[in-house]
Structure formats: C-alpha cells, structure tokens
Structure 1
Amino acid sequence: MRGDDPQLDDLAHKPSPPARLLDVTRLLRRAGRVWTGVDRVELAYLDALVAEDVPVFGLARTPLGYVLLDRGGLVGFRARLDGTLPPSAPDLLSRLQRGMRDSARRALTDLRKLSVARCLPHGLPAMLAKQLPAGTAYLNTGHSNLSARVLRAVRRLPDARIAVLVHDVIPLEYPHFQRAGTVEVFAQKMQRVREFADLLIYNSADTRTRTERAMAEWGSVPQGVVAHLGTVSPAPAPQDIPENLRPKEPYFVTVGTIEPRKNHALLLDVWDRMGPDAPELFICGGRGWNNEAVFTRLDALGDDARVKEVPGLSDGALAALVQGAQGLLFPSHAEGFGLPAVEALLLGTPVLCSNIATFREILANYAVYLDDSDREMWEATVVGWSKQSRNMLRVEGFDAPEWVEHFKTVLSFT
C-alpha cells in the first residue's frame, strides 16, 4: 500500500535509478546467529534487488573500514549466509578482531574476498564516487550503519537518493524498556535519518504515525510510504525439535526476544495462577536486556515446570512447534509489525495478542485481542482454548502480506 503524500507522485514517476546500493552491515554482524525479523527483511531486500535488472551493490561497515560488493559478490555472500556455500576460514585480519564470534570472522573474511573495492573510513566518499554512478539509490533496511559519515558520503554522489526502512521508534516511546545508553544513540540515528533521507519506508501505518510524530519535534519529516512486510509461509520440520522438548498437548508458545516490552511477565503470572494443571508454555527466544526479574523467575523453573525456556531453535523446529500449539501468545506492550503472529496465522495457529494498533492493522479479525495487563482474561482464554480441540481452533483464510506487493510499492519510488 502507498502513502497518501501527494509529493510521492514525483518520486513514483521517476525512472529506475542507474544503480541501487543496499547496506548489508547488519547481515555481516548477525552472520551465524538465528535470524531475527529485521534480519529477514534485509535478506528479502538482498534477494529482491539481485533479481532486478538494475545494477546492485552492497555496502558493509567493517572494523577496519568499508567494503563494496557488486551483484556477484552479493550473491556469493548470500550463499554463504544460508549455507549453500561453505564460509571461508578466518583470515589474519579477521582473527585479529577481538570479541568477534567465529561465524562473524568467517563472514568478514568472505566479504573482503568478494568485494570489488575496500577503503578505510575516511576513504568512503572517494570509493563510492569511483564505483557508483550518479543517481544511485541507497537503501538501508536494518537500522545499522546509519552514520553521518555514510549518509554524507552517499549524499555527495550527484542526484543520489536515500531510502530508509523504519521498523519502529519504540526506543523513543518506551525508553524504560531499553538498555542503558541506547535511547540517545537511537534518537541521534533517527535525527540523521530525518535530515538525510529522501524517503522513509514504513512497515505499517501505525509505525508511520508514530515515527512522523517523533520526527516532527525535530523539524520537517521526509516523504513516506507504507508497505507491509512480506511473509513467507514457514516450513515446519518436526523432526528438528529436540527430543527433550517434544511437547505434550495441549501446549502454547510465545516467540520473541525475552525483553521487557514483550511482556513475558504477564504470561509467567498467568501460568502461576493456573498452577500444576496448566498446559505447557514454550518461551521461544533468546534473553535480551533489562529483564532481570523475569530471568530470575525463569532460572527458578524446575525440570518438571509447565513453562519451558527454549532459545536457539532452528526455523523448521520453531515452525513445527508453533503449528502444533493451541495458540501463539503475544502480549507485547509495543510492536512495529509482529512477524511471529503473522507466521502463526499462516500455519493455522490461533493468535492471542495485546490490543494495540499495529496488531489490529496487520492481523485484522483473525486474532483475539486482550488488554496487555488483564491477567484474568488471559488466563480465562488460555484455559478455554486448552479445553478445545486443536482442529476446532485452526485459523483459515488469513491473507498475509506478500513480498511481491511490498517491492512493487517500494521499488516504484527507489
């Protein structure tokens, strides 16, 4: 779907750029980890752009400077990220980087091997000017590498366009949920985006409203377009579920990093209220930040507890666990899009979520909405669903957003 800014007509009627430059810094840093929703968006953009006729390049910030990939380099990098090709052994420069995971060292080595150009930080403007044509469109979809150095270097290219995908502005709205020191860093990043971007891409109308409200306090807001994120139907692989996690029906799941805004505390309270007769609850996701009270409660769980903490599942195992559940529970205080809920509905699994605007926009009438603090109603609904046949609870007819529609909108402006 497109935004309602009439000035977008000018962008939409411009010819395709002579080249596109996708920032892949986040993928470099996340190599070897379980992909998050933001990671998947950057991967989807990589796949879409290398399939286009327009020449495409990739830019990544490394510990020593910047590397530039052409289409072939991006294809090779992608193949190593998904395991189609084996990664290289870390080279000397990568091994010298302290505090870096081995998978990141391998990815860094491959980036250097696949690059068409490299430079130290101060050499970025010259490298881009030498390698990229005038009118290049820079796209940043991962909230990484949005530094003044990068944005100014791109802006120095004649007729360059800068487009940034904004996933959310939750750190500005809920600073008490964030790590110490990160709110100001995020605010400065969004201020730079407001200053330099020609176009903001929003994953939901709610994200657009919230972002424009925040940016308006700093000055004029760039033009924007709403394009719901595409989704790919998950491929369940029940054989990949670890033997010690084989669930007993009925059971429920919640998916997401264990951080304050995800509101795991409510679910733990609900399960405490239900006692030993409660169905199993699988908390799927790694531990985040500012959540010591929840971590303490999770650490106190015994082997026979009805709540299981399950980090690091493969995509197939997680999809199988969600597919077999009585329901996906999503009591978040705030979300930019809510991909786990969309994927659950694609698998036919009912979703019980908090009553926030983003969920209602994306999930429409296919989810059940409750106040994110109403423990009694959450308990009553969980108990009710646990007594019903799983087949009777199945969701049918959910029309999930598709990537083809997303890129039809976005690439008409970039």
Structure 2
Amino acid sequence: MRRPKHGLTRESGLKLDRTPHNPTPPARLLDVTRLLRRAGRVWTGVDRVELAYLAELSAGPLPVWGLARTPFGYVLLDQDGLAGFHQRLIGSAEFSSPDMLSRLHRGMGDTARRALTDIRKLAVARCIPRGLPQMLTRHLPVGTAYLNTGHSNLSERVFKAVRAVPQARISVFVHDVIPIEFPQFQREGTVGVFEQKMRRVQQHADLIIYNSADTQMRTERVMSDWGPAPQGIVAHLGIVPQSPDRSALPEGLPPETPYFITVGTIEPRKNHALLLDVWERLGPDAPMLLICGSRGWNNEAVFKRLDALGADARVLEVSGLSDGALSALIEGAHALLFPSRAEGFGLPAVEALVLGTPVLCSNMATFREILADKANYVDDSATKLWEECIVDWSKKARITLRVRDFEAPTWVAHFKIALSFT
C-alpha cells in the first residue's frame, strides 16, 4: 500500500453515509474507562495514548467532558472533574481513601478502588446503564464529538447512547487488530470479544484514528469482510521522553558489564523465545540480557525457561520498574532487542531511539514506517542472524553504537491531525 502524503493522513476509499464532519464541535466527550480500570498499574502503550488525550483535551480551549463505565453504571465528568481525575492519575494530587461502595467491589487493587471513589466524587452526573442516553442528552450540547482511544467501553449501549445526542460524532482510536490476525497469541476467550468490538466500531464510528498506515491497511482489510470501513486518518503517536532515573533502580541494576535489553509483556507475540535461544547458544560468555516486563499469557514454555535460570545466568527477568528506572536501563544498554512477531506501533523501539539506544527489531512494515533507517531489521525467525548481530554489537564500544539524529514523532503533530477531524 502506498504511504499517505507526509506519512501521516489518508482518507479511506471506503466510506459510509455518516454524520457530516464538523471540524469545530461545540464539545468533546472523552471515554476514560480504560484509565479508571488500570489506575495503579504500570502504564501500557495504549494507556499512555489515552492519558495523552486526557492531558491534551482537559487543558485545551474546547469544552470537554469525560465518560467512564464503572461496576455500578456510568459517570459523567465536566472539564474541572476531568482535570482533577487527570491530576490524580499522574500523581499531582492524591486519591481519596476508598469508600464503602468501592470496597465492596472485588477484583480491584487499592489504587483502583481509590480511583473509583474519586471519579464518582468528581462526577457531575451518574446513572445506571439504561439511563445513559438520558444522562448524555441532558448534559451534552448538540454536535458533541465522542472520542474513544483505549479499546475499552466499545459497546452497543455506549454507541447508541452517544447517537442519542443530536448530530453527535463518534471517533475511535484503533491501535491494532492483532487479536484477529494472530489469534494464536491471545488469551483464551479474548479473540471473539475483540472482534465484536471491532465490528461495532465498523458499524458505528464516523472516524477511525490509526497509529500507523500499516495499522490502517490491516484494519480496513479485516473490516472489508464486514462491510465498508469508516473514514480513516493516520497520526503517528507522540513521545514524551522519560528522564532516566538511576536512583529508582533496584540493587544490582544496571549490570556492571555490557548488556542488552528487551521491553514488553512476556507473551508469545513478543517472541522472547528467540532471544532465549540466542543466549543459550552464546553460553556463559554472552553479554547480559535484561527481559523487562510482566508475565503475560499462553507462554508457559518461556516461563519455565525463565524459572530455570540459575544465579549465574546471563539472562535477568525484571518487572515492576517505574518509567524513570526503565528509561535508565534502556539508555545504558548496548541495544534494545525487539523480535516481535506483530505490532501496531512499537513504542519501546521509538523510546529507545529517543534515548540514543540502537534498536535491532523484526523486519515488519510498521517498524519501517515509524523507525525508517534508524533501526536495524532482521526477520523474526532468523535466529542465527540475530545472534550474529548481537555478538558483533557486543564487541563494540557502546558509545560507537549510539543513535544521535532520530526525529521522534510528537504529540503536537499527532493532535494537529487527529483533533482537526474529531
């Protein structure tokens, strides 16, 4: 597929007869359900996108509202409430102690219960599920633009409730369609749920925002089996450089010897098995490999190999690091290794290049679109080539490998595109 002009925007050739585009809506409604549910956890790439939208819209000149699905129904926040919720999420303000209602909900961590307590306190309106259309029409102006950026709350109920607001417009951020393309990598029972979400997006959205032209191509190919895809635009994700904080690292990190690093949830799609194969072949003379990420799903063979590592192993599993600590490890590494089998964007690779750390990654269209000639590409199954490159780099001084002229995409550029259509 030919890349869009400037690599940023393209309108799909498949169009639906939907509400006419209004470039300056009277207000926006941002869905923050994902951030509410993930409060207190380490932010994922998708979390960071929703957080960036929250920061941008809550500080912007256009009126903005927030919507969240809670275990008890829905809450609606005005601009002040949304700003207050944002301050709590980023640590600029403290969450309240969890109230009785939040304590009754099982399966939530303490911070999530606190967030649930505060989002109800900050709300200007609350409702049980069947009352959502009435709540939205009572508070939101005609022509409100609804934005969902987190793959959460993409329900028939929400879409129909938003449509109850006259001339409302629905925009959805699609990060990838990997669960549909690669079902073998997913948790049991999640593929069908994800497909139903994407079917609802295809049916109800006026606009889909994509993080890459490759994601757009793949999504429209999937949706073509269901009917015409909504209008689509591409806006590369922005990067907020994290200041490396070595003081936040646990004892023993970073290693005293040269090391390589890989970042991401330990699940089959990330292809940690390839790296473990390389390190087994290299033996005791291998450089250190830091595997940074929490354990995921469907990866028992890799977990077993990690559990069998001895104290003198050249592979170290690390999880639960702060952003600053992780950035410190990435900055000090010989290289970031990213043998992933599928990605929508590949945020760790971009963040590594921003820090000057070279990247060795899979040879896929998404990486080539975002990283261009600043990364090194190897097929995700070519174990021997990975080994040769790693050995070669490990013999070189780290300073000679540094990347010095990578121009990272910015949130300013992203929002200039995305918000001109939503």
TM-score by length of 2: 0.96
2:5 maps to none
| Structure 1 residue 383 displacement after superposition | 0.7
2:395 maps to which of 381, 387, 408: 387
Decide which of 249, 252, 260 is 1:252's aligned counterpart: 260
Report the Cα distance in structure 2 between the residues aligned to 1:127 and 1:12, rounded to whole angstroms: 24
User: In structure 1, what residue type is equivalent to 2:265?
Assistant: T
- 1:41 Cα deviation after fit: 0.3
1:150 aligns with 158
Q: Report if aligned partners of 1:248, 1:280 keep a CA contact under 8 Å in 2.
A: no
For the Cα contact (< 8 Å) 2:19–2:206, is it kept in 1?
Answer: no
Match of 2:116 among 96, 108, 119: 108
Give the distance between the partners of 1:364 and 1:81, measured in 2 at CA: 34
Distance 1:60 1:46 in 2: 13
Pair 1:87-2:95 in alignment? yes
Distance 2:410 2:340 in 1: 24
1:245 shift after superposition: 2.6
Contact kept in structure 2, 1:162 and 1:196, CA below 8 Å: yes
- Return the letter of the residue paired with 2:129: P
d(CA) in 2 for partners of 1:317, 1:98:
31
CA deviations 1:369-414 (Å, max 9, x no partner) are 0010111111111111011011100001111110001100011111
Q: 1:128 maps to what in 2?
A: 136
Please list the CA deviations of residues 298-336 of structure 1 after superposition, one character each: whole Å capped at 9, or x if unmatched: 111112211000011000000000000000000000000
**Residue 5 of structure 1, CA deviation:** 4.2
1:52-67 aligned within 5 A: 52-67=60-75
Gap runs ≥5 in structure 2:
1-7
Instruction: For 1:274 and 1:294, locate their aligned partners in 2 and report how far apart those are by CA, in whole Å.
Output: 18
Alpha-carbon distance change, 52 to 12 in structure 1, aligned in 2, over 3 angstroms: farther
Aligned to 2:378: 370
Deviates more, 1:100-109 or 1:14-23: 14-23
Q: Which runs of 4+ in 1 moved over 6 A?
A: 10-13
* Distance (whole Å) between structure 2 residues aligned to residue 336 and residue 125 of structure 1: 33
Q: Matches of 1:67 and 1:236 in 2, distance apart?
A: 37
Aligned to 1:328: 336
Larger displacement relative to structure 2 (399-408 or 244-253) = 244-253
Deviations 1:29-80 (A, max 9, x none): 1100111100000000001111221100000000000001111111111111
The residue that corresponds to 1:205 in the other structure is: 213
1:169 aligns with 2:185: no
Change (3 A) 1:107 1:122: same
Aligned to 1:231: 239
What are the Cα deviations for residues 156-206 of structure 1, in whole angstroms up to 9, with x where unaligned? 111000000000000000000001110000000000000000000000000
Between the aligned residues of both structures, percent identity stands at: 70
Q: What is the identity, as a one-letter code, of the residue corresponding to 2:357?
A: T
Name the residue aligned to 1:299: 307
CA–CA separation in structure 1 for the residues paired with 2:256 and 2:389: 19
2: CA distance, partners of 1:47 / 1:235: 19
**Which residue of structure 1 aligns with residue 54 of structure 2?**
46
Q: Does 1:2 align with 2:6?
A: no
Q: Deviations over 1:108-145 (max 9, x none)?
A: 00001100000001110000010101100000000000
Unaligned runs of 5+ in 1: none
Compared with structure 1, are the counterparts of its residues 373 and 15 closer, same or farther at alpha carbon in structure 2 (3 Å cutoff)?
A: closer
Residue of structure 1 in register with 2:3 after alignment: none
Displacement, 1:251?
Answer: 0.2
Q: Is the 8 A contact 2:19 2:169 kept in 1?
A: no
> How far has the Cα of 1:356 moved from its partner?
0.4
What letter is aligned with 2:10?
G
Q: Hey, what's the Cα distance between the residues in 2 that align with 1:35 and 1:15?
A: 31
How big is the shift at 1:13? 7.2
Query: Quick one: structure 1 residues 204 and 371, their matched pair in 2 at CA, closer, same or farther if it must change by over 3 Å?
Result: same
Task: Check conservation: 1:60, 1:66, Cα contact below 8 A.
Answer: yes
1:284 aligned residue:
292
Mapped partners of 2:113, 2:397: distance in 1: 48
Would the aligned equivalents of 2:11 and 2:231 in 1 still touch at CA under 8 Å?
no
C-alpha contact (below 8 Å) 1:258/1:288 kept by paired residues: yes
Alpha-carbon distance in structure 2 between the residues aligned to 1:2 and 1:214 = 20
| Match of residue 28, structure 1, among 33, 36, 52 | 36
> Contact 2:19 / 2:167 at 8 angstroms: preserved in 1?
no
User: For 2:77, which of 60, 69, 72 is the aligned residue?
Assistant: 69
Alignment match, 2:146: 138
Cα distance in 1, alignment partners of residues 21 and 293 from structure 2: 43
Distance 2:105 2:11 in 1: 47
Say if 1:11 and 1:331 are closer, same or farther in 2 by CA, change over 3 A: farther
TM-score normalised according to structure 1 size: 0.98
Please state whether the residue corresponding to 2:25 is helix, strand or coil.
coil
Distance 2:318 2:254 in 1: 12
Please give the root-mean-square deviation of Cα atoms over the aligned residues, in Å.
1.4
1:12 Cα shift?
Answer: 9.9
Aligned to 1:217: 225
DSSP-derived class of the 2:120 partner: helix
